[in-house]
Amino acid sequence: MRALHAISTALALVSLVAAAPALAQTRCKPMAEPEVRIDFSPPRPAFDTLPMAELRRQGRGGLGEHQDTLGLYKAELSSSMKVEFSMTGDGKMACMRLSDVAVDLQVTERRIYVARELQRGSCRYEATLAHEQQHARIDDVLFARELPAVKAALTRAAAENGVVGPVPTGDLPAHRADIGERMQRVLRQELDRLSEIRRRDQGAIDTPESYRREAARCPGE
């Protein structure tokens, strides 16, 4: 009889241990899936002229260079992210989930320059302007094509974080900081990927062959 009692007690302990994770999972109520937004409204390129020497100085290390820098397209991409959380709790213990991710992307200093030495309306002036406008169009196509992929990556990362808790309310700031850093890391990775694609696409029209073709359109200039 004593042996039977021992077996029954052991089975009860096993059942209790097996049920513990399930009980812990049900303590945090389901929360709505996080919402991800990307705000992006690139301005139309402004236009200006600069001396050829200054264009070459600014163009160093850019998307393309050639012997005489007659034009330049500049557009810098900047970003910021704001994350918000939903929380429930009793003041001592709390459950938390990422609820909102807002990314603000901006193209700053978007400008097309043409060398001041070129006569406005000349063949070389118009060819240079058209080339730099093509750079701007490449950016427009790239952003429209790639930003949905950036949003998808952020949406996946936000969903993977799941619900945190129940944890002591004093631990929430550390959890918020950790999740925020994870989201920032994903954004940086996506923007790095975007930059690589941008260099490739922009560089495709900044080749010696393309410059020779453009020069051939304006013989004697």
Query: What b/e readout covers 180-202, taking b as 16+ CB neighbours within 10 angstroms?
Result: bebbeebbeebbeebeeebeebb
Strand partners, 82: 102
pTM: 0.78
Contact status, residue 210 vs residue 130, Cβ threshold 8 Å: no
- For the chain, list residues with pLDDT below 70: 1-26, 60-68, 221
Report the run of H or E that residue 39 belongs to, with start and end. Answer: strand 35-40
Cβ count near 215 (within 10 Å):
16
β-pairing, 35-40 vs 71-89, is unpaired
Q: What is the pLDDT of residue 68?
A: 64
pLDDT at 132: 94
Task: Note the pLDDT of residue 15.
Answer: 31
Tell me the C-alpha distance between 102 and 116, whole Å: 41
